[in-house]
Amino acid sequence: MSVTWLSVLLLSSVLEEPVSAQLDSSDKQESAQPHLILIVADDLGWNDISWHNSDVISPNLGQLAREGIILENSYVQPICSPTRSALMASRYPFTIGRQNNVIKPFCPTGLTLNTTILPQELKKLGYDTHIAGKWHLGYCKWEYTPTYRGFDTFHGFYHGAQDYYTHIRTDSMEADHVTTEGTGYDYRNNTEVDFASAGDYSTFVIADTVENIIMSRDPATPLFMYVPFQSVHNPMEVPEEYSNMYSNVTNHKRRMFLGMVTAMDDAVGQIVTALKSSGHYNNSVIVFTTDNGGPNNTANNWPLRGHKGSVWEGGTRGPAFIHSPLLSNPGTVSHRMVHVTDWYPTFVRLAGGSPPSDIDGVNQWEALNNNSLPPARDYFVYDIDRTDALVAAIRSGDYKLLVGDIGHDSYDPQSPGAGHPPAAVNTGGSCKQTAAGGDLPTMQLYNITGDPSEREDLSASQPSVVKDLWLRLQQEFSRYVTKDTPPDDAAADPKNFGGVWSPGWC
């Protein structure tokens, strides 16, 4: 064995020690593994948070961000279930059939069972694992639900959205020209239906659950706490005291939306207070991200172009930070590229384990902590979707290649502030250009570093860059799996389960 390989092996065995053990060798008992707190907001846009927009009232998140590392190039999927599957499985959704859209209530499928997901990996490393909030990765059979997939406890709901107070969800399906509408309750304590939470605003139910878990456990055992809020997804509902904080915002929906951001911020404050008073905080790593860009008409992604559902920056680049007393460079802003698949290997590494080798994420911890080290990644696939015509995007260094018809919508330069959801603006033009001619799909090229608003299409002036990135994208096609969306099944109807959306029909 060469000296080089030996030193690589020695180095990797050092790296596999939990981070806090390296920082403080006097404390190498069971508490050495850090607590991992993963907070996911739903539908929160780039300009919907205080560190990007001072009109937004989010002091708790703002403080965590300011005293941690604000991640200005943190990328997620264009929509919900794909991001959640990337987070849990560290795989690009197009490689496991989870691209294109969310898992709808009547759809008999879930996140593929043939991959070991993050909580399962952390359980192997001795962690207690809990989820409080939204799952949205399948529920048609028990095997798809959180407590069968590595979580010790689950307190929350299966679907993508619901009434914040009643926890009732109505959805419809169409088969053979017959529309079936289903209405049911959707809140669980582990596998049991939890009717006790009916009437309580879910953001605060989630905060109470997390607080109870944290306050009643021993910080000597490492904790993985996954906190996926429904906030600030529609419907627009929030206690009046929060929307009243934005009384000068004239657009009603926007006023409610901003109130919801502030309510979520209070919930985060409650969770951090619990971490501190229970003795967890000093040894914890808190990651915050949105699940996708802000939706058109309520959120605000200014100055990024586009919104939820598109591979424009506004759909895929989200507000995010990492906060921890274990960081060596707190109070900084990082422009390093982070992809949502990266949290899985980063957490497994922090826990002292080795992430699986066949995942798409990379461990970010060392590179985010030390700017002298090379960035953990300079490439990722935003998405590949061939469900209809091909729509795809990849990033390599400064450049982003967009392929197919991405849609025209843009930022509205007139409404950068908190008061308005930006109207979608048709900028026209570039979508119809074909850089390479012939039978190739439409391509656009942007320098995201210099042009984050994606205004200036460089495809005509940089044909060789387009060609290189198109070749690189085509290499990814071999991993493409057709979207896993079997036809809706009326068996899901809650009327078959006592008025509750329930597993047991696929």
Ligand X SMILES: *[C@@H]1O[C@H](CO)[C@@H](O)[C@H](O)[C@H]1NC(C)=O
Question: Which spans of this chain sit near ligand X (rule: CB under 6 A)?
Answer: 55, 96-97, 112, 114, 155, 189, 194, 209, 248-249, 279, 282, 296-297, 328, 370, 372-373, 398, 409, 417-419, 424, 447, 449-450, 481, 484
- For residue 181, how many other CB atoms are within 10 A of its CB? 9
Least Å distance between CB 203 and ligand X? 15
Nearer to ligand X, 278 or 289 (CB): 278
Q: Which tokens go with 395? A: 């990033």
- For residue 74, how many other CB atoms are within 10 A of its CB? 26
CA quadruple 481, 484, 486, 491: dihedral, nearest 10 = 160
Least Å distance between CB 439 and ligand X? 28
Least Å distance between CB 192 and ligand X? 7
| Catalytic (active site) residue 155 | no
Alpha carbon distances (Å) from 487 to 104, 105, 232, 467, 483: 10, 11, 29, 38, 12
| Catalytic (active site) residue 140 | no
Nearer to ligand X, 97 or 499 (CB): 97
3-state helix, strand, coil in the chain (%, to 5): 30, 20, 50
Nearer to ligand X, 297 or 434 (CB): 297
Nearer to ligand X, 201 or 289 (CB): 201
Q: Which residues contact 263 (CB under 8 A, 6 or more apart)?
A: 201, 203, 204, 231, 238, 239, 242
Nearer to ligand X, 147 or 297 (CB): 297
| Residue among 80, 107, 140, 323 flagged as catalytic | 80
d(CA 357, CA 86): 15
Provide the 3-class DSSP secondary structure of residue 349: helix
Least Å distance between CB 504 and ligand X? 20
The angle at the Cα of 105, spanning 102 to 111, to the nearest 5 degrees, equals 50
Contact 249, 53 (CB under 8 A): no
Nearer to ligand X, 271 or 493 (CB): 271
Contact 183, 494 (CB under 8 A): yes
Least Å distance between CB 449 and ligand X? 5
Parallel, antiparallel or unpaired: strands 320-323 and 284-290? antiparallel
| Residue among 52, 130, 136, 155 flagged as catalytic | 136
Least Å distance between CB 54 and ligand X? 7
Instruction: Report the residue count for the chain.
Output: 506
Q: Which residues contact 58 (CB under 8 A, 6 or more apart)?
A: 49, 50, 261, 262, 264, 265
Nearer to ligand X, 43 or 194 (CB): 194
DSSP 366: H
Provide the 3-class DSSP secondary structure of residue 172: strand
Least Å distance between CB 300 and ligand X? 11
Least Å distance between CB 369 and ligand X? 7
Provide the H-helix boundaries in 114-197.
118-124
Provide the 3-class DSSP secondary structure of residue 8: helix
Nearer to ligand X, 329 or 495 (CB): 329
Which residue type occupies 306? G
Residue 485 phi/psi, 5-degree rounding, is -135, 80
- For residue 262, how many other CB atoms are within 10 A of its CB? 24
- Catalogue the active-site residues: 80, 136
